[in-house]
Amino acid sequence: MSQETNKNNYSADSIQALEGMEHVRMRPSMYIGDVGVRGLHHLVYEVVDNSIDEALAGYCDTIKVTINEDNSITVEDNGRGIPVDIHKKEGVSALEVVMTKIGAGGKFDKDSYKVSGGLHGVGVSCVNALSDLLRATVYRDGKIYEQEYSKGKALFPVKVIGETDQRGTKVTFKPDTTIFTQITEYSYETLAGRLRELAFLNKGLTITLTDAREKLEDGSDKGETFFSKEGLKEFIKFLDGNRVPIIGDVISMELDKGDVPVEVALIYNDTYAENIYSYVNNINTHEGGTHLQGFRMGLTRTLKKYADASGMLEKLKFEITGDDFREGLTAIISVKVMEPQFEGQTKTKLGNREVVSPVSQAVAEMLESYLEENPNDAKIIVQKVILAAQARHAAKKAREMVQRKTVMTGGGLPGKLSDCSEQDPTKCEVFLVEGDSAGGTAKQGRDRNFQAILPLRGKILNVEKAMGHKVFENEEIKNIFTALGVTIGTEEDSKALNLEKLRYHKVVIMCDADVDGSHIATLILTFFFRYMRGLIENGHVYIATPPLYMVKKGQKKDYAWTEEERLSLIEQMGSGSSVQRYKGLGEMNAEQLWETTMNPEHRILRKVTIDSMQEADRVFSMLMGDEVPPRREFIEKNATYAKIDV
């Protein structure tokens, strides 16, 4: 909904406004994206955003979020309190206007620097419309005011319920379960993730999360406090905590260029991966946009200038490209824009052209002075860039070899691939199987009409730690590329992924259900994450889940995937049953493997999705990095992909 529409709605009469609330209830997805997990959590963010605005305006430094026992949510801040005086035009309190008129927001305060706002920026009235019950409590001018609403309609005029010496606003709402039908429970982890992020993005602000549904051993509620003194600098340390930095410290800065406040923090680590996160008004702009463009320009221009002047490039026989400056780079860029224009498929791409130059100037200024003051770090960065350029050059050659081979041999499929007979990719599946022996069993057990098998020998290359050209020289990886029919790299973009010729719409990773198996699955996933992210994003990647046990009695046998299932099967079959623990795929015969793990009728396939890029990246870097102890512990405690598999 555009700003214009908001204003029109605001000045419209109350009948129309009521229709506005009805419309939200009729078409909730138009306002909050969906009525699933995302939409449910979005309600919280929408309310929190109002308090963040109050903090950005300089009147509030603490926000408390509580998941109550009945799964309602309370958001409380210590700001000025939403005004409760009678709104001249509407004839009701300002609080009621904010809560019941679509698009009223905090807009009646012209001076407020309203830059926050949820992805859809719909305001708290939408939350109200989608709540069974919402209670607003305002602490202001020595009094406590209260008003309640149901499905967006006020139940009574604002009333005074007591006296106070506090200031602030408290909103409690219970999502309407006739609208949020599939998912009604809040996830502590999801809320914690977003609130932690908001604390990093708004330094100095204290945000607490309490989960009253869960008691700790001492009887208190589970909870956390998020506070960041240094903002993005600490955010980078959090994101890159599992990687080894190659420069002394995080480079960070804050600059106000023109009307655009810019905050940037970056570090170089010893990997070859690029991780840049960008935000506009606290919203993660997954699709990038003009601020990211400005960041890249500033970074490339400044580093190139420095590298040229250093004389270190003299022996390099080819040009350095933008990509080369971003290998091993982790960066966060956060800008505040008064009237952001969001574009792109998921409306997370900033379109405002006027943002490019302030950002690129700010980044250039910051980097220039950093490089001057830290010549050792500057040298390390330039050396890293040169290595990246050389590796890219080598990778291009290696890739051309792979692709030439594919073209020349007319599709030249890998010898190890047992292909299926079906030609329509949408109906085809390929199983990437750990080890030749399990591969053999899978080959016997499969339905050859639509299921192909590609055995992978042992552990595949850890791409997180390998340079680009090594990746394309790796036999197993070359096999995956050619088997899938996927190519990467065009003249303009060396990392562009071409999925047009994808030969299978389901790519299933099938590994042992043990620690080694999940390690291998993670290696393959890391490879997809870094080199074929589109494959995951388009929902083509799955994980097969072989059973852990077979319970048998006489001729009767059944399989169990969990401890509970095992126990319940033993109970069902009664005395005399025996249990076989499957340590690996190799212990199953072809028929068992088909029945339990490959047959679409019975199998459990888990689709891999990338819900939170940052979390996925943190998990991958931890699992694949040098730091062994956290990795072992994590693999042993979790299914490896717990965090990326939703």
Catalytic residues: 434, 512, 514, 516
CB of 171 to ligand 0RA, least distance (A): 7
Question: Is the distance from CB of 646 to CB of 541 less than 8 angstroms?
Answer: no
Q: How many CB atoms sit inside 10 A of residue 89's CB?
A: 11
Q: Which of 111, 110, 106 is nearest to 46 (CA)?
A: 106
321 close to 392: Cβ distance less than 8 angstroms: yes
Which conformational region is residue 168 in: left (phi greater than 0), alpha (psi within -120 to 50 degrees), or beta? left
- CA-wise closest residue to 291 among 326, 342, 237: 342
Q: At what angle do helices 613-624 and 515-531 cross, to 10 degrees?
A: 130
Return the number of the residue (131 or 592) whose C-beta is nearest ligand 0RA.
131
Taking the least distance from each CB to ligand 0RA, the nearer of 165 and 218 is 165
Which position has the token pair 């050659």?
A: 397
Cα–Cα distances in angstroms (integers) from residue 477 to residues 442, 455, 526, 607, in the given order? 20, 12, 12, 21
What token pair was written down for 292? 């990211």
For residue 606, give the H/E element and its range: strand 605-607
> How many other CB atoms are found less than 10 A from the CB of residue 131?
24
In this structure, which long-range contacts are made by residues 337-342, counting pairs with CB atoms below 8 Å and at least 24 apart in sequence?
A: 337/115, 337/260, 337/280, 337/281, 338/115, 338/259, 339/3, 340/280, 340/281, 342/280, 342/285
- Token pair, residue 305, equals 């200038």
Nearer to ligand 0RA, 147 or 169 (CB): 169
Q: How far apart are the first and last CA of the chain?
A: 29
Q: Which is nearer to ligand 0RA, 51 or 334 (CB)?
A: 51
Contacts with ligand 0RA, residue ranges (CB under 6 A): 50-51, 54, 77, 79-83, 106, 109, 112, 169
* 281 vs 201: CA distance, rounded Å: 9
69 among annotated binding-site residues: no
What is d(CA 399, CA 401) in angstroms, rounded to the nearest whole number?
5
| 205, 53 Cβ separation under 8 angstroms | no
Residue 635: CB minimum distance to ligand 0RA, A: 43
- Judged by beta carbon, residue 207 or residue 532, the one nearer ligand 0RA is 207
Asked if residues 646 and 580 have their Cβ atoms less than 8 Å apart, the reply is no
CB of 293 to ligand 0RA, least distance (A): 33
Q: How far is the CB of 84 from ligand 0RA (least distance, A)?
A: 10
Question: Annotation-wise, does 434 bind a ligand?
Answer: yes
- Minimum CB separation of residue 169 from ligand 0RA in Å reads 4
Contact yes or no for 116/53 (Cβ under 8 A): yes
DSSP β-bridge partners for residue 431: 453, 508
**If residue 335 lies in a helix (H) or strand (E), which one and from where to where?**
strand 329-335
**Least distance CB 190 / ligand 0RA (angstroms):** 22
DSSP characters over 502-558: -S-SEEEEE--SSHHHHHHHHHHHHHHHHH-HHHHHTT-EEEE---SEEEEETTEEE
Check: CB of residue 385 under 8 Å from CB of residue 303.
yes
**Cβ closer to ligand 0RA: 106 or 435?**
106
Q: 343 with 114: CB under 8 angstroms?
A: no
* 560/548 Cα distance (integer angstroms): 6
Instruction: Please state the closest distance from residue 126 (CB atom) to ligand 0RA, in A.
Output: 14
CB of 38 to ligand 0RA, least distance (A): 22
Query: Based on CB atoms, which residue is closest to ligand 0RA, 58 or 410?
Result: 58
Give DSSP secondary structure letters for 250-307.
-EEEEEEETTEEEEEEEEEBSSS--EEEEEETTEE-TT-BHHHHHHHHHHHHHHHHHH
Residue with smaller CB distance to ligand 0RA, 79 or 289: 79
Residue 339 annotated in ligand binding = no
**Least Å distance between CB 338 and ligand 0RA?**
17
Binding site, annotated residues for Mg(2+): 434, 512, 514
Binding site, annotated residues: 434, 512, 514
